[in-house]
Amino acid sequence: MSLTLMTYNIKLGGAGRLEQIGRVIAEQSPDVVAVQELRGEPDLGALTGMRAVVARPWRGQPVGLLVGRHLRVLGAGHVARPFFHAAAWVRVATPLGALTLVSAHLCPYWGGVRAAEAGWLAAFLRRRGEGVLLGDLNTLDPWDSHERRLAALAPQYRRRHLDRGRPDVRATALLARRGLVDLFRRCGSGAGWTVPTSGGGGAEFTRMRLDYLWATPGSAARFTECRVVTGAAAESGSDHYPVVARAA
């Protein structure tokens, strides 16, 4: 048996684009979808036929998880920290065993806040055993060179991704130090950037990887595929492309 996970920032609740979003999700047949930017809390459960878990924010927008009805939910809730947006979690019985899956959307504006949020998430997963963190982390990865990408941004957006004049990778570097595995780096194929789509995104984006799946080591070893979903409805469903990972 296999397990398919997806993360998808649907942009401002998917207003006017829910049909495309539903089509993107259906075409990938995921078992669990982490969704971000649930402004207005659209009824994605009815749209997809999956069970929805939603976490409401302190300041930003809700996030959630959609769980296939064939999976047994062992627990669900929100990570009780003051995230700018929110973090939702479910623990489900899967073909890989019981997994804790977290949907998160890190602070878009300040790298120090993102690093703190990443620390809370890493600690939460460590207490829960095997699991996967999915979401829009609003930050760059710690392995690639990002200077050219950042140079293409207007100064007000470039500042969001700088730490003392250098690319800010504090949040993702922390996740790596805590032992989590970037699934795209482990088994990814194709282009890795997740924003902007051809039908969305403005001056705040150049071609950047902001959306991730990070797994605990035992779970990461089971994943054999990770890719960014492009083309067809994914071009107009949001300003972010979804990311899908599959395990056997």
What are the per-10-residue average pLDDT scores of the chain (248 residues)?
A: 96 98 98 98 98 95 98 98 97 96 98 98 97 98 94 95 97 98 98 94 90 98 98 97 97
User: What whole-number distance in Å separates Cα of residue 162 and Cα of residue 165?
Assistant: 5
Residue 217, C-beta contacts closer than 8 angstroms, at least 6 positions apart = 179, 181
pTM of the full predicted structure? 0.98
Q: According to the model, what pLDDT value does residue 76 have?
A: 98
84 token code pair: 């700018």
Q: According to the model, what pLDDT value does residue 1 have?
A: 79
CA 211-99-210 angle, 5° bins? 5
Q: According to the model, what pLDDT value does residue 200 have?
A: 75
Q: According to the model, what pLDDT value does residue 58 have?
A: 84
Of 204, 175, 207, the residue nearest 108 (C-alpha)? 204
User: What whole-number distance in Å separates Cα of residue 33 and Cα of residue 28?
Assistant: 10
User: What whole-number distance in Å separates Cα of residue 3 and Cα of residue 11?
Assistant: 26
User: What whole-number distance in Å separates Cα of residue 28 and Cα of residue 105?
Assistant: 22
Strands of the sheet containing 87-94, edge to edge, are 72-78, 87-94, 97-105, 131-136, 211-215, 181-182
Please state, in angstroms and as integers, the Cα–Cα distance from residue 3 to each residue in 23, 29, 64, 97, 103, following that order. 19, 10, 19, 10, 17
Asked if the peptide bond before residue 196 counts as cis, ω within 30 degrees of 0, the response is yes
Of 59, 51, 95, 97, the residue nearest 76 (C-alpha)? 51
Of 55, 78, 56, 76, the residue nearest 67 (C-alpha)? 76
Q: According to the model, what pLDDT value does residue 62 have?
A: 98
Please state, in angstroms and as integers, the Cα–Cα distance from residue 225 to each residue in 4, 61, 71, 213, 245, following that order. 9, 30, 21, 12, 5
